[in-house]
Chain A
Amino acid sequence: MHRTIRRRYVLFHLHRVGPPIDARRLSTAIWKSFLSLFGETSVADSRLFINDYDEESGLGILQCNAESVDNVLASAALLSSIDGTQVSFEPEQTSGTLKGLKR
Chain B
Amino acid sequence: MPVDLNARVTSLEKMDTFVDMARKIGFTGLAVSLPLGSPMIRTDSGVVILARIDLEGKKLDTLRKQVGHVRKQSVILSVPMRDTEISNWAAGDRRVDLLTLSEPTKDHVIRESTATLAAEAGIALEIPIAPLLASSGLDRSKILRVYRESVTTAMHAGMHIVLSSGATEPILMRAPSAMWFVGTLLGMDRRQSREAAYSVPDQIVAASEHKMRTESVSPGVEIVKEDG
Contact = CB atoms under 8 A, between A and B. Distances in A.
Contact of A80 (B25, B134, B175, B181): B134
Interface stretch (A1-9, A41-49, A84-92): A84-92
Nearest to A89: B178
A91 B181 contact: yes
Contacts of B182: 74, 77-78
A15 B132 contact: no
Contacts of A37: 185
A80 B190 CA distance: 23
B218 interface: no
B110 interface: no
Contacts of A80: 133-134, 172
Contacts of A17: 171
B178 A73 contact: yes
Interface string B17-53: 0000100111000000000000000000000000000
Interface in A50-103: 70-71, 73-74, 76-78, 80, 86-92
A71 B185 CA distance: 7
Contacts of B216: none
Interface residues of B, number: 25
B171 A91 contact: no
B178 A91 contact: yes
- Interface size class, chain A: 20 to 34
A16 B171 contact: yes
A36 interface: yes
A74 B175 contact: no
B21 A70 contact: no
Contact of A88 (B134, B136, B175): B175
Interface string B169-200: 10111110111011011000010000000000
Nearest to B136: A36
Contacts of B178: 73, 76-77, 88-91
A15 B21 contact: yes
Contacts of A92: 177
A92 B21 CA distance: 15
Interface of B: 21, 24-26, 129, 132-134, 136-137, 140, 169, 171-175, 177-179, 181-182, 184-185, 190
8 contacts: A70-B184, A77-B178, A78-B129, A78-B185, A86-B171, A88-B21, A88-B172, A89-B174
Given A77-B179, A88-B171, 17 more contacts: A15-B21, A37-B185, A70-B181, A70-B190, A71-B184, A73-B178, A74-B185, A77-B178, A77-B182, A80-B133, A86-B169, A88-B25, A88-B172, A88-B174, A89-B174, A90-B174, A91-B177
